[in-house]
């Protein structure tokens, strides 16, 4: 069946006039996320003061003359934005600025994600796949899910694919191989500086032979210190250099996350996703925690049975504790 005969799916991107969306919309619209034969109707949500900017984005999408893009719906109304959507990229959030604490972010963003959760509940398809990109992403996903009780909790995920991609790139550079040769790195926990980048299960293809990251890098001290710190602090490093937060890399990671969710992971490969915790690996239950997952038929599954080195256990406990604290703060904001 050609894309001309296929029914389009509706996809919403919030914060659609912003920096991340400017990179993301083109990646989605040209077919890199949902498949090269899947037509799309894009719903673009932003706040009323951004409507003129959004109109320019709509013009640019038209001028790309993309074969899969059937229609673009720009709006400031969540009821219109979330109507009948199959996938939601929740990008719009108060961005973190230099020197800003995550707690400042929480109070501003809880209100945004409450409104969006309610709109998803009323207007979206019940099998909608929701990716929260706006920070603090893990806790925003919990808030959003709470206000969309008719949609399964497992349909709300948070983006740690950016951290996952950063980790792969660091190992690839250190091992002097192309990035596609690195797989199965893990980001545990929160998308924050407490996250736990873990290369102990990563595999690297070196001249056609699969070896451990440890064997490829040949520097265990680097893997346990600089590698972890570089990935944890990469977002802050980008802000310091660019005076703005990661946009191009965040957009690419959002596309990667949703493509894996819709189209599945390769055999023997897992990716990192913030998903509702069932308590695996000692993570607190009921928070959105980043785990290694495999995906098939649109369903993610936490990879079980991995041996966790004692070196990482305290870090896993710390990132879990931060997520519990964030959840408590978010719920206090909601009830205030």
pLDDT of 162 higher than 90: yes
Take residue 6 and report the two structure tokens written for it. Answer: 């296929």
Q: Helix or strand or coil: residue 95?
A: coil
Which of the four pLDDT bands, split at 50, 70 and 90, describes residue 333? confident
| pLDDT given at position 94 | 77
Q: Where in the chain is the domain with CATH 3.40.50.720?
A: 9-158
Whether 164 is catalytic: no
* 109 annotated to a ligand binding site: yes
Residue 314 labelled as part of a binding site: no
Q: Is 320 annotated as a binding residue?
A: no
Q: Which residue spans within 140-230 are E strands per DSSP? A: 156-158, 182-183, 186-188, 196-198, 203-206, 209-212
Burial 173-184 (b: 16+ CB within 10 A, else e): ebbebeeebbbb
25 close to 57: Cβ distance less than 8 angstroms:
yes
Mean pLDDT (whole number) for 115-139 = 96
State whether CATH 3.40.250.10 applies to domain 160-327: no
Q: What is the pLDDT of residues 218-234, one digit of tens each?
A: 999 999 999 999 999 99
Q: Tokens for 80, please give them.
A: 């219109």
Architecture in CATH of 9-158: 3-Layer(aba) Sandwich (3.40)
User: What is the model's pLDDT at position 98?
Assistant: 67
Supply the pTM of this predicted model: 0.96
Nearest in space to 89 (alpha carbons), one of 259, 226, 300, 323: 259
166 is in an annotated binding site: yes
Among the listed residues 164, 191, 201, 257, the single catalytic one is: 191
Residues of the chain with CATH 3.90.110.10: 160-327
pLDDT band at 320 (very low <50, low <70, confident <90, very high): very high
Closest to 78 measured CA to CA, from 110, 124, 111: 124
Contact 107, 150 (CB under 8 A): no
Query: Is 46 known to sit in a ligand binding site?
Result: yes
Q: Is 133 marked within a binding site?
A: yes
Task: Give residue 102's pLDDT band: very low, low, confident or very high (50, 70, 90).
Answer: low
pLDDT in tens, 164-173: 999 999 999 9
């Amino acid at each position: 069946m050609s894309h001309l005969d296929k029914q389009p799916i509706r996809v919403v991107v919030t914060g659609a006039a912003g920096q991340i969306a400017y990179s993301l919309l083109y990646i989605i619209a040209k077919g890199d996320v949902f498949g090269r034969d899947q037509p799309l109707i894009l719903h673009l949500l932003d706040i009323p003061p951004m409507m003129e900017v959004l109109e320019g984005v709509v013009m640019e999408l038209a001028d790309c003359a993309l074969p899969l893009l059937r229609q673009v719906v720009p709006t400031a109304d969540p009821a219109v934005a979330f109507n009948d959507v199959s996938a939601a990229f929740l990008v719009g959030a108060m961005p973190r600025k230099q020197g800003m604490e995550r707690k400042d972010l929480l109070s501003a963003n809880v209100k945004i994600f409450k409104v969006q959760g309610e709109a998803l509940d009323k207007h979206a398809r019940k099998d909608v796949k929701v990716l929260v990109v706006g920070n603090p992403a893990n806790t925003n996903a919990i808030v959003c899910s709470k206000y969309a009780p008719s949609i399964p909790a497992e349909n709300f995920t948070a983006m740690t694919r950016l951290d996952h991609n950063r980790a792969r790139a660091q190992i690839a550079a250190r091992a002097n191989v192309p990035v596609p040769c690195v797989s199965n790195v893990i980001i545990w926990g929160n998308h924050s500086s407490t996250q736990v980048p873990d290369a102990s299960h990563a595999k690297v293809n070196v001249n056609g032979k699969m070896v451990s990251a440890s064997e490829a890098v040949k520097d265990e001290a680097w893997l346990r210190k600089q590698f972890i710190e570089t990935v944890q602090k990469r977002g802050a490093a980008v802000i310091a250099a660019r005076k703005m937060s990661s946009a191009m890399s965040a957009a690419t990671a959002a596309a990667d996350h949703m493509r894996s969710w819709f189209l599945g992971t390769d055999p023997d490969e897992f990716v990192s996703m913030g998903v509702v915790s069932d308590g695996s690996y000692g993570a607190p239950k009921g928070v959105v925690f980043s785990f290694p997952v495999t995906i098939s038929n649109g369903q993610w599954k936490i990879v079980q049975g991995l041996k966790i080195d004692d070196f990482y256990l305290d870090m896993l406990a710390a990132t879990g504790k931060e997520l519990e604290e964030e959840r408590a703060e978010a719920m206090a904001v909601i009830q205030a």
